[in-house]
Structure 1
Amino acid sequence: MITVDLARRLRSAGLRWRPASGDRFVVEHLADADEAPDVFTLSDMTIEAHHYPTGTELGFNGTTEWALDSVSADAALWLPREDQLRTLLGPAFVSLTHETEDDEHLGWTVLLRPRSTADEHEHHVADDAETAYALALLAYLDASLRLDEPA
């Protein structure tokens, strides 16, 4: 699972969330930097996304440990899964490889297509596949939203 900090960076880079069943999230004001946050999963039985014209509410159905009945989706932070991150990379994604040396785990590498013929493939490396995908998506979003400086 990606970290709360990385999820915040993705959101700041422009990633938007439309809550759906199976999505993981944390409630922002409960995500303490010093402790592992409570991670919730949207499910049709326990936590449902209710879409209204005024916004999306995440309803907690019968969860006794939760002090609220619902929380605004704006107050929640999406923790995208590996498959979601890969899908968001779309055609920019080339491959994911697991790097090892002498049976020792060195990390996961996501390879992205070059943006132009003058560029090289981009490599994004992390200890786990989900984080490697998230770092690749972060770089992809950043480059997509940045205007190139004139030559």
Structure 2
Amino acid sequence: MPMWKIYVPAGAYTKEQRKAFAESITEVYVNFADLPRFYVVVAFHELPSDTIWVGGDEANDFVRITVDHIARRMPDSDDFRDMAMQAFADAIEPHVSPRGFRWEIHIDETPLQLWWVNGIKPPPAESEAEKEWARLNAAVPYEMV
């Protein structure tokens, strides 16, 4: 499950704009990593004026994004990581730069063994059980054979 935390100035996005932003992010994972849609979580955190500072200077035009990757880990390949980061940048860019925001992103990867959904250990990647989760867009009990 990727967990995206997007820190934005208060009032930066309407509900519809947050939805469009979250959909752009979700599509990267669905199309690029074949993840079930419900694995992708995006949380917007609005910060009041004068609470974002970059380099000691007030930065009310700054968006900071932190991501925890759990369901999949990126291969240990600079080329793959560059490709993935570009895909994320392409999804983010239309929602920040045209609005005059500067932005930054970083990704952490959490061990898959430390993630459960509704008390259920997620099925292995690309397994029939995971495909069923994707079809239902929900976590359901499963048996591996």
Shared fold, TM over 0.5: no
Between Structure 1 and Structure 2, the one with more helix by share is: 2
Higher-Rg structure is: 1
Give the structure, 1 or 2, with the largest relative contact order (CA under 8 Å, sep 6 or more): 2
Between Structure 1 and Structure 2, the one with more strand by share is: 1
TM-score of the two chains, using structure 1 as the length reference: 0.24
TM-score of the two chains, using structure 2 as the length reference: 0.24
